A and B are shown apart, each in its own frame.
Chain A
């Protein structure tokens, strides 16, 4: 029974943690107290459910216990000293076994996501706050994913939560006029969890990827904001690129997109992503995430059509550069131009990027190397590959680039190198 109660409490925690926390924290903006009370409620569940049986509505039970716990805290002397008394009078007393059904209460997680990515909060805390409040991750697990010392991450989270409480950041969904400006950092924070550039921390454990968590956040956001095309676009983008994850590595070597075995792509995730993209289209407001999702969608279409529509990709990449001219987007555009108009045209686009950072940007050198190889400039391509390899720290990507470079070198050279390296 204890095992069953524990498993049930865990199930409830996974499914309902963010919903319950959002409801609790929305009342006074005190996330820390809400977390403590919810943790107490879960502890209480573990000790009492084995005896009393699992309640018919576990979420409602947890919410009631957490609320009672907060009442107790308010009445305690320490809390009274720190908090105005009238709060206590206003709150009233809740029954331990309530009719309150969290499923009947509006989902406050959307407001919670906007609080986590509020402009008054340090941007480096946005994603960690979402992981903690919506998914219930502890600071140590978040620290591991971001590869910072746990104490530093805990401090960052505590500061942000204090700021939300003290500055009275409201738990509200921004009104229409403010939506674009307020939505952008929410999308960035969720995308940031997906696109996190993992340092070399693999060690003995598998990579602490946050891809699944960011997918959960993105689909939650899209489901709560069905009229925001960029929220749908982000959910589509993460679904579609996650779908290709199983095919990205073979024999410990990185596999580029167009060489991936598409039978290994996840068709359910592709269908999910296509659904989001399909719903975004009629809303008629194109944006960066929809374009990136559309690019992914064209690539994923190879699974059914067997070919890649490079002309469509070229158009989409061009549009992306117009909307979001990041270095990455411009380099990807050069690659797409190279595919459609030939390697020389692609190199021209690449040469037109005069950004200082480009000369240290690994993807720019990888693209240059591929284009030079295709243009028949083997010697220059080898040099570009060498430069790309020197900027690559990921072992799987390095092995791939080294093999491409070796393919350009004469057989004699290769044999010589093998001999030398013994």
Chain B
């Protein structure tokens, strides 16, 4: 994967967008092995296309919300909670960081995300990011 040069030519500004994947966890009805394999193959093809296009910065799919631990500190006291921050039907499941010119390009990729078929893909532009020891504007 090209690391620092974006594929749109020199000097063309890009934006970093997070595609935040949300879907029902656990899936209802439960997935068969064949369905799970088909879903994984779809994600493999999708992520490979993002990577080949040189727009993928990182991708993580998380374990289910059942494995979530939420931490907060209130009045100096640590609170460790078993479970997610927000207990919703559709839970946060994974993140793709993209480097693309604008929102329309991000929408074009979000539309092709397999999870858009059974969940929701939320697009959020990045504000700042930590790079080479300091926070910097994301773009």
Residues of A within 8 A of B35 (CB): 149-151
Interface string of A140-158 (1 = CB under 8 A from B): 1000100111111000000
The chain A residue with its CB closest to the CB of B110 is A393
Does A184 touch B at the CB level, under 8 Å?
no
- Evaluate contact between B10 and A413: CB separation under 8 angstroms: yes
CA distance A422 to B44 in the complex (A): 24
Does B2 touch A at the CB level, under 8 Å?
yes
Within 8 Å by CB of A393, from B10, B27, B108, lies B108
Does A264 touch B at the CB level, under 8 Å?
no
- Evaluate contact between A151 and B29: CB separation under 8 angstroms: yes
B15-40 contacts to A (CB < 8 Å):
27, 29, 31-32, 34-35, 38-39
The chain A residue with its CB closest to the CB of B55 is A390
- Evaluate contact between A201 and B41: CB separation under 8 angstroms: yes
Does B49 touch A at the CB level, under 8 Å?
yes
- Evaluate contact between B108 and A152: CB separation under 8 angstroms: no
- Evaluate contact between A395 and B29: CB separation under 8 angstroms: no
Residues of B within 8 A of A389 (CB): 7-8
- Evaluate contact between A393 and B102: CB separation under 8 angstroms: no
- Evaluate contact between B117 and A395: CB separation under 8 angstroms: no
Measured CB to CB, the closest approach of chain B to A408, in angstroms, equals 10
The chain A residue with its CB closest to the CB of B41 is A203
Residues of B within 8 A of A271 (CB): none
- Evaluate contact between B102 and A390: CB separation under 8 angstroms: yes
Residues of A within 8 A of B53 (CB): 393, 395, 398
**How big is chain B's contact interface, by range?**
35 or more
Does B5 touch A at the CB level, under 8 Å?
yes
If the complex has contacts A387-B101, A409-B9, are A201 and B108 also in contact, measured as CB distance less than 8 A?
Answer: no
Contacts between chains A and B (CB distance < 8 A), count: 95
Does A103 touch B at the CB level, under 8 Å?
no
Residues of B within 8 A of A394 (CB): 49
Residues of A within 8 A of B49 (CB): 200, 393-395
- Evaluate contact between B114 and A201: CB separation under 8 angstroms: yes
The chain A residue with its CB closest to the CB of B1 is A421
B44-81 contacts to A (CB < 8 Å):
44-46, 49, 52-54
- Evaluate contact between A147 and B100: CB separation under 8 angstroms: no
Residues of B within 8 A of A201 (CB): 41-42, 45-46, 114
Residues of A within 8 A of B34 (CB): 140, 150
- Evaluate contact between A148 and B101: CB separation under 8 angstroms: no
Residues of B within 8 A of A417 (CB): 5, 9-10
- Evaluate contact between A416 and B10: CB separation under 8 angstroms: yes
CA distance A63 to B126 in the complex (A): 62
Does B112 touch A at the CB level, under 8 Å?
yes
The chain B residue with its CB closest to the CB of A392 is B108
If the complex has contacts A144-B38, A149-B35, are A200 and B9 also in contact, measured as CB distance less than 8 A?
Answer: no
B94-109 contacts to A (CB < 8 Å):
100-102, 104-105, 107-109
Residues of B within 8 A of A395 (CB): 49, 52-53
Does A354 touch B at the CB level, under 8 Å?
no
- Evaluate contact between B10 and A360: CB separation under 8 angstroms: no
- Evaluate contact between B41 and A390: CB separation under 8 angstroms: no
- Evaluate contact between A391 and B108: CB separation under 8 angstroms: yes
Does A166 touch B at the CB level, under 8 Å?
no
Does B135 touch A at the CB level, under 8 Å?
no
Measured CB to CB, the closest approach of chain B to A251, in angstroms, equals 15
Residues of B within 8 A of A390 (CB): 8, 100-102, 104-105, 108
Measured CB to CB, the closest approach of chain A to B116, in angstroms, equals 8
Residues of A within 8 A of B118 (CB): 148-149, 152
Within 8 Å by CB of A148, from B54, B100, B104, B117, lies B117
Measured CB to CB, the closest approach of chain A to B96, in angstroms, equals 13
CA distance A422 to B2 in the complex (A): 8
Residues of A within 8 A of B27 (CB): 149
- Evaluate contact between A391 and B114: CB separation under 8 angstroms: no
The chain A residue with its CB closest to the CB of B42 is A201
Instruction: Kindly list 12 other residue pairs between chains A and B, CB separation below 8 angstroms, not including A150-B32, A394-B49.
Output: A150-B35, A200-B45, A201-B114, A203-B41, A204-B41, A360-B107, A387-B101, A390-B8, A390-B101, A390-B104, A393-B112, A420-B2
24 contacts between A and B (CB under 8 A): A147-B42, A147-B114, A149-B27, A149-B35, A150-B32, A151-B35, A199-B42, A200-B42, A200-B45, A200-B112, A201-B41, A201-B46, A203-B42, A360-B104, A362-B108, A389-B7, A390-B105, A391-B104, A393-B108, A394-B49, A409-B9, A417-B9, A420-B2, A422-B2
Q: Which 7 A-B pairs have the closest CB atoms?
A: A203-B41, A390-B105, A420-B5, A203-B45, A421-B2, A386-B8, A200-B49
